[in-house]
A and B are shown apart, each in its own frame.
Chain A
Amino acid sequence: MAINADEIREAFMGLNLTGDDERGLLRAFGVILACNSVDYLIGREMDFTHALGPKATKMVDNVLIDAAQWCCNATFGGIMASEEWAQLIEPNIENTPDRLAGLVAVANCLGWGKIVSTELDEDQQELTMRVDHSYYVDAWQRDDGKADRPICFMWTGVAAGFLDLLYGDKVHDFEATELKCGAMGDDCCEFHVKRVTKAFGYL
């Protein structure tokens, strides 16, 4: 049975995803969610990039990707262990591509932009993932013009995190590279994920 992304989106948005009346917190899927303006989410990453300047580009990129990859492991790991997943998605999963489709359907509910395609090579354990309307692109280009390198750091960490969850034993078993980026003028953002050949480091 195929994963029904529309049904998942409807169910997700029907969860009343706001803070509770007493504590103002939103606990769902085993994590604490909050909703921030895209301008804040991207602005803080741009400010961090500017604070360290062009000589620290690689470290800045890896620091931001690292945060997202850990997040992906905990958040989507929590989602896959949640009651909501068990009821709505697990019954439709027959294989690893189905499980990936379930993760993609949930990621597409969060306001980050849309994963429009995934190509999973199960033998090589590699993934190519394409995103349209990445929430980075407009915000980055508005404030900083056309990007000189791929800048969808959160997506890069999440793409790698998906394969950490599907095939890995721990965070950073896989690494992702953003091959195309809308902020550089490409037609979409495209990520390639493969198993790491060296230990993760900021530099």
Chain B
Amino acid sequence: MNTVEEMTLAFKESTQIFPDRSRLMIGGTEMAFHCDKFNTRICKNLEDVLGVEEGGELLRASAEQTTHAFLTQFLDDGDRKAQFEALSPQERLQTIFGIFKVLAYGALEIVELNEEKGVFRSASTYLSEGWRENQKRWRWVDREDPACHDIRGHLSAAMALAFDKPVGSYDLVETKCRAMGQDACEFVAEVI
């Protein structure tokens, strides 16, 4: 097992359940399960009220801050900090994408990567997958804009950690989205 796989497994195995409080912790951070119904409804309701751009930016920014915090909490813990720092940016992202898979955000792949720019693709972000199903179920109109606002935030945080930059260093645009009927979601990160 290589370091990337070891760290992903360590994250998964860090799960702690507190039955007396019905709370759970993974990687040293409080976590909770929700389904695509809730998350797509939150997305849709916020977009309906604030508009797609402002609602999406609110979700992206919140995801960026909080994901950076929980990843740092886990990756800075004890010996793991030196292990992570020894990895290349590509390996760091692979580690983080492994953690995202554990959390069931979907599978992300690196298409292009350097310090200035990253391009990522996913055929299965959980939000786009959920949106497609719920659009039929609840007869929502076709989307004209991408939906994976939280994944943009997760990726901004991941890029900052991959290149040792402060949170907020990368702008993230979703250029294709399965929720719009396209074959995959595609994200472009550019240093600000």
Taking a contact as CB atoms under 8 Å apart, the answer to whether B30 and A67 are in contact is: no
Write the nearest CB–CB distance from B137 to chain A, whole angstroms. Answer: 8
Question: What is the chain B residue whose CB lies nearest that of A16?
Answer: B12
Taking a contact as CB atoms under 8 Å apart, the answer to whether B104 and A13 are in contact is: no
Instruction: Given the known inter-chain contacts A34-B103, A43-B66, please indicate yes or no for A111 contacting B22, CB distance below 8 A.
Output: yes
Q: Is B50 an interface residue (CB 8 A)?
A: yes
Taking a contact as CB atoms under 8 Å apart, the answer to whether B41 and A37 are in contact is: no
Taking a contact as CB atoms under 8 Å apart, the answer to whether A51 and B50 are in contact is: yes
Taking a contact as CB atoms under 8 Å apart, the answer to whether A75 and B46 are in contact is: no
Residues of chain B contacted by A21 (CB below 8 angstroms):
101
Residues of chain B contacted by A109 (CB below 8 angstroms):
22, 33
Within A26-74, the residues touching B (CB, 8 Å) are 26, 31-41, 43-44, 47-48, 51-52, 59, 63-64, 66-68, 70-71, 74
Instruction: Given the known inter-chain contacts A26-B104, A43-B66, please indicate yes or no for A34 contacting B46, CB distance below 8 A.
Output: no
Question: Whole-angstrom distance between the alpha carbons of A134 and B141 in the complex?
Answer: 34
Write the nearest CB–CB distance from B170 to chain A, whole angstroms. Answer: 18
Taking a contact as CB atoms under 8 Å apart, the answer to whether A24 and B35 are in contact is: no
Q: Is B69 an interface residue (CB 8 A)?
A: yes
Interface residues of B (CB under 8 A from A): 12, 17, 19-24, 26, 29-39, 41-42, 44-46, 48-50, 54, 58-59, 61-63, 65-67, 69-70, 100-108, 123-124, 126, 129-130, 133, 137-138, 150
